[in-house]
Chains A and B, each alone.
Chain A
Amino acid sequence: MSASSPRTPVPVEDARIAPKPGLRRFHQARWDEPLIFELTSPGERGVGVPVTDLPVPALPAGLARAEAPRLPEMSQPHVLRHYMRLSQETLGVDLNVDVGQGTCTMKYSPKVNDSFVRDPRIASLHPLQDEGTVQGVLEILYRLEGLLKEISGMDRVSLQPASGSSAIYANVSMIRAYHASRGEGELRDEIITTQFSHPTNAAAPKTAGYRVITLMPDADGYPDIEALRAAVGPRTAALLITNPEDTGIFNPRIEEFVRLVHEVGGLCCYDQANANGILGITRARDAGFDLCHFNLHKTFSTPHMCGGPAAGASAVTSALEPFLPRPTIEFDGSRYYVDDDRPESIGKIRPFYGVVSNLVRAYAWIMALGAQGLRDVAETSVLNNNYLISKVLEIKGVSLPYARGRRRVEQARYSWEKLNADTGIHSEQIGYRVADFGTHYWTSHHPYLVPEPMTLEPTESYSQADLDEYARILAEVAREAYEEPETVRTAPHNGPIHSMRDASLEDPGTWAVTWRAYRRKLA
């Protein structure tokens, strides 16, 4: 055949199709999309409502608006196109190897769970419907409480809180009600927490009016038990502690912590938002705790906030049961009902039953896995984490401070201190560059206790190949930091927007979360 024949195979080196790279050549869409309010076109409509001859009753006078709302006027395809474009400018949970957002437990949420939530039998319910007409959803909530009682070892669970923080606030409120009921409400005005516990464990009690004492980690990164000894006393209302802490280190002296607080008459409240590594392995009750909470988003199917709405569960021993948020959901042997007659209750943490869509997903998730499945989740996430640790520690410039030689549970907080000393590149800059490869990255809560921190949490959802890909991305960015730091310093290059100045996020003067605020402040 002649060289000009269209059938001549193309030599590999001439191929337009390059071999698959070890690293993804990612580039995110950039639509330069205006705000939806700027897309308004007077008279444009999503649905043409037919004119009718039938009599339309007038609105009651008190309900009629003086003028029409200033909503954007748009057709359905324009609305759809707008949101599709915005979605392409984000890095959603189903798009990326989402192991970089440590402490967020980013896992795959089975799509079948969404179908239950969208089912009209759930989606069309109204929270003010008569109990007799919502027996099905009450049964789900009642049974979910039963499952969480087993998972935590506690006696009662409220599903009302709207998030992890809301559950911690509910727990603090119950702690206050408990001490008040014993005539010690005024005396016990101090709550103890640790620096590596999630910041809500300090913020919620402060909001509730407590004095908050924070313990720093000891030399090995464990909560400092000597400091706890110095902190406890007759004014101690409770210890609020996350375990494993955000470092992924399990506190081996947790029972002693509980004992020291109980000895002075305080309560112990376990933040189990990071439960992914301990499901079916340890329980708050067995460690002696009086209260605990779960994030039903994160651990139990629904992705963490911004990936979806949240839901929290507050679990308590029977001593604290009278103070649970009201109403509780009860079963009398033949029907489910709502018990709102709870005189010692702290009241409502949120309207109605809770965030039902997330509660349904959590129930479906637990039921699909079963007891052994939950334990498999924990073991797989711990295995994944320790595999990723071994890969990451091969990279130049990174270290895993504290608790040397001890395994982490489900997440790990690393330090780029050496890379920073060698190259001047900061952890945040590494994060911006990691986004160029189509995935997330997180540093740590502020202020940074671990210098130049990075927190990774590979849940059970990721395969070995996924983890290898993430480690490859980090290795490449670290190489760039050493060999071509400008590339990292000026990142992101492949995203829809360039780096932001965090300071503007902390200045209320620049916030514009509504169209009105935007027009007032920025337009």
Chain B
Amino acid sequence: MGGYLAGLSAEARVSFTVGLVVNPVAGVGGRVGLKGSDGAEVQERAFALGAVPQAAERASVALAELRARRPDVSVLTVAGAMGEAAARAAGIVPEVVFAAADPTSAADTIAAARSLAPQVDLLLFAGGDGTARDVLEAVGDALPVLGIPTGVKMHSAVFAVNPRAAGEVAADYSRLRDAEVVDRVDGSPRLFGHLRVPDVPARVQQRKTGSSGVTPDAVSGIAAELGSLVAPGELLILGPGTTTRAVAAVWGADVPVLGVNVLQDTKLLAADVTADQLLKLVAETPAHIALTPIGGQGFLLGRGNQQLSPEVLRAVGLERLHVVATEAKVVALGGRPLLVDTGDDALDRAFPRYVRVGTGWRRTILYPLNHSPSHPLNHPNHPLNERQS
């Protein structure tokens, strides 16, 4: 596959044109506890549950960052909610080259991406795994693509770690790599193909990897440790994942693997809750949150657990947030930092630079959490960067 812009630094490019496609309903399912947002039916349910679309706002954060770094950038996009609005919110006057039907659908994403592709250097899309599949279908490996993360779970490796990082990366990258497009089909992840994505390991996420297996003794140690932190009567909010599910199982609680669940005195109090429900619960009773990073990616927040909204996190308090994982899972991150993308920049930055990850009874690994591009991962000597070359 040819070079495209690979090897060219941003400065060396004469003029820089970015295409933008926004899936306006991407991610609406997140805070209301749905496991995705694809399909008119799910979207209707999300809105009925009080969902507020956030894709446009997150896309404009990315574009503002891009514009700050590359004032000369030209943006080609779709009329209205599929791009134009987000660009204008970022202070960019885009060139509108495509108009979609209202309400928009996956077919519009595909048609818009197809018409933008031949005219731009890089295609930015705002959405989740479903949108990534549409973009893959539309453009394949014809040009560099980067996802602005606005979906719910985002298993694919085509997204920046957060919207701001999408702007940073779009403004300056020198190499590309093939990145997996993955989506859940009937409950299990499936690989759909690869997009050509800027190769900036610290700022572009990895794909989610399968569970590295949770050994019973590690999990019972983690459960004992967590149990000792939560006082009788207090709530324990468990994020999704096989680790947290196994911890609940140690106490005899059977919780769904994908949702956010609330325990009290080791019993399931509320399963698969929404952000609003959580906010009500934590307003009444002191709570703790236990999260496990997404295997391979390192995300603690903002991928598949948007129910833990910035409001919920602030109400509980970051000092009552506990990160747990088996040692094997931590090591499998391969030195990649933990990541948070809560949707609230100030909150993301309030996280400490190092987080204690509980790996067993009285055992923690102090692990770096990334919220700055100066992270050692960006160091050219970092083994991850060497391995990719």
Q: Residues on A close to B: CB < 8 A?
A: 195, 202, 206, 209-221, 224, 226-227, 230-231, 401-402, 404, 417, 446-449, 451
Interchain CB contact (< 8 A) of A219 among B353, B359, B376, B387: B376
Given contacts A226-B353, A227-B368, A231-B354, contact A216 B362 (CB under 8 A): no
Measured CB to CB, the closest approach of chain A to B178, in angstroms, equals 14
- Contact (Cβ within 8 A) A212 B362: yes
- Contact (Cβ within 8 A) B363 A219: no
Beta-carbon nearest neighbor of A214 in chain B: B365
Given contacts A227-B354, A230-B352, A447-B328, contact A219 B382 (CB under 8 A): yes
Complex Cα gap A221–B376 (Å) = 11
Measured CB to CB, the closest approach of chain A to B381, in angstroms, equals 6
- Contact (Cβ within 8 A) B327 A230: no
**What are 7 A-B contacts defined by CB distance under 8 Å?**
A202-B363, A215-B366, A216-B366, A216-B367, A219-B379, A219-B382, A230-B366
Residues on A with beta carbons closer than 8 Å to the beta carbon of B366: 213-216, 227, 230-231
Q: Which interface residue of B335, B353, B363, B368 has the most chain A CB atoms within 10 A? A: B363
Beta-carbon nearest neighbor of A215 in chain B: B366
Interchain CB contact (< 8 A) of B332 among A195, A210, A447: A447
Complex Cα gap A202–B363 (Å) = 8
Complex Cα gap A448–B330 (Å) = 11
Q: Does B383 contact A (CB under 8 A)?
A: yes
Q: Which residues of B319-369 are within 8 A (CB) of A?
A: 327-328, 330-332, 334-335, 352-354, 356, 359, 361-368
Residues on A with beta carbons closer than 8 Å to the beta carbon of B387: 417
Q: Does B377 contact A (CB under 8 A)?
A: yes
- Contact (Cβ within 8 A) A404 B381: yes
Measured CB to CB, the closest approach of chain B to A129, in angstroms, equals 43
Given contacts A230-B353, A401-B383, contact A219 B368 (CB under 8 A): no
Complex Cα gap A212–B332 (Å) = 20
Which 9 A-B pairs have CB atoms at the shortest separation, nearest pair first?
A219-B376, A230-B354, A219-B382, A447-B331, A447-B328, A211-B362, A214-B365, A219-B379, A227-B366
Residues on A with beta carbons closer than 8 Å to the beta carbon of B381: 219-220, 404
Residues on A with beta carbons closer than 8 Å to the beta carbon of B368: 216, 224, 226-227
Residues on A with beta carbons closer than 8 Å to the beta carbon of B359: 214
Residues on A with beta carbons closer than 8 Å to the beta carbon of B383: 219, 221, 401-402
Measured CB to CB, the closest approach of chain B to A478, in angstroms, equals 19
Measured CB to CB, the closest approach of chain B to A361, in angstroms, equals 36
- Tell me whether chain B's interface is mostly helix, strand or loop, or mixed: mixed
Given contacts A226-B353, A447-B327, A448-B331, contact A211 B364 (CB under 8 A): yes
- Contact (Cβ within 8 A) A210 B379: no
Beta-carbon nearest neighbor of A404 in chain B: B381
Q: Which interface residue of B328, B331, B352, B362 has the most chain A CB atoms within 10 A? A: B362
Residues on B with beta carbons closer than 8 Å to the beta carbon of A451: 334
Beta-carbon nearest neighbor of A399 in chain B: B386
Size of B's binding interface in residues, CB under 8 A: 28
Complex Cα gap A214–B382 (Å) = 20
Complex Cα gap A209–B362 (Å) = 8
Q: A219-B382, A227-B366 are in contact. List 14 more A-B contacts (CB 8 A).
A: A206-B361, A213-B356, A214-B359, A216-B365, A216-B368, A217-B335, A219-B377, A219-B381, A221-B383, A230-B352, A401-B383, A402-B383, A417-B387, A449-B331
Interchain CB contact (< 8 A) of A214 among B352, B364, B376, B386: B364
Residues on A with beta carbons closer than 8 Å to the beta carbon of B367: 216
Complex Cα gap A471–B205 (Å) = 39
Measured CB to CB, the closest approach of chain A to B389, in angstroms, equals 12
B369-389 interface code vs A (CB 8 A; 1 in, 0 out): 000000011010111001100
Measured CB to CB, the closest approach of chain B to A383, in angstroms, equals 26
Beta-carbon nearest neighbor of B212 in chain A: A447
Complex Cα gap A226–B352 (Å) = 12
- Contact (Cβ within 8 A) B363 A206: yes
Complex Cα gap A220–B328 (Å) = 21
Beta-carbon nearest neighbor of A448 in chain B: B331
Complex Cα gap A301–B146 (Å) = 60
Complex Cα gap A417–B367 (Å) = 23
Residues on A with beta carbons closer than 8 Å to the beta carbon of B376: 218-219
Complex Cα gap A64–B367 (Å) = 60
Beta-carbon nearest neighbor of B367 in chain A: A216
Complex Cα gap A442–B356 (Å) = 31
Beta-carbon nearest neighbor of A217 in chain B: B335
Residues on A with beta carbons closer than 8 Å to the beta carbon of B382: 219
Interchain CB contact (< 8 A) of B364 among A213, A219, A404, A417: A213
Beta-carbon nearest neighbor of A405 in chain B: B381
Q: Which interface residue of A212, A216, A220, A221 has the most chain B CB atoms within 10 A? A: A216
Residues on A with beta carbons closer than 8 Å to the beta carbon of B354: 226-227, 230-231
Complex Cα gap A149–B65 (Å) = 61
Residues on A with beta carbons closer than 8 Å to the beta carbon of B352: 230
Complex Cα gap A224–B387 (Å) = 21
Complex Cα gap A221–B382 (Å) = 9
- Contact (Cβ within 8 A) A214 B379: no
Complex Cα gap A209–B363 (Å) = 11
Measured CB to CB, the closest approach of chain B to A223, in angstroms, equals 11
Residues on B with beta carbons closer than 8 Å to the beta carbon of A210: 362
Residues on A with beta carbons closer than 8 Å to the beta carbon of B364: 211-214
Beta-carbon nearest neighbor of A209 in chain B: B362
Beta-carbon nearest neighbor of A192 in chain B: B366
Residues on B with beta carbons closer than 8 Å to the beta carbon of A217: 335
Complex Cα gap A214–B359 (Å) = 10
